Amino acid sequence: MALNVSGVVVRSATGEERALGDWAGKVLLIVNVASRCGFTRQYAGLQKLQDSYGPRGLAVLGFPCNDFGGQEPGTLEEIQSFCSTTYGANFELFDKVHATGSKTEPYLTLTQAEPAGDVAWNFEKFLVGRDGIVFGRFKSGVDPEAPELIAAIEAALTA
């Protein structure tokens, strides 16, 4: 059975609760992000994806997470400023989340997507189709500009 995440509720940067279904009709790339990680440079690639594919219906959604090595200690305002000034990133960032343990955020029910399992590190990517069904999952080492991720995004946009 396909995993539909439309009813999953997340907390925006302003503190309001929103269902992922609010983005119905969009392809979502959901990423747990951190500003002091070896993968932090991926912010630039994520912004390139937003710039390139946003007009076609892609929305990059970033969820700051401090669970892996304490690599996201800042406040949301500090994180937003860092992303903007360092990487020119202006895709939507949400309130900080937990990706591990008993406080794992509801959006991480995405971990049921293939390959199933817990989020292992920062910058893990979940691709959700326009219908709210998880389309693919990509580990941290998959760069935003990797051919397999680009191909998956293009396939999701044309599905």
The residues carrying an active-site annotation are 37
**Alpha carbon distance 53, 141 (integer Å):** 21
Q: DSSP secondary-structure letter at 35? A: T
Residue length of the chain: 159
Cα atoms in the Cβ-side hemisphere of radius 13 Å centred on 12: 11
What is the dihedral sign for C-alpha 50, 51, 52, 53?
positive
Q: Which residues are within 8 A (CB) of 81 and not within 5 positions of it... i.e. 6 or more apart? A: none
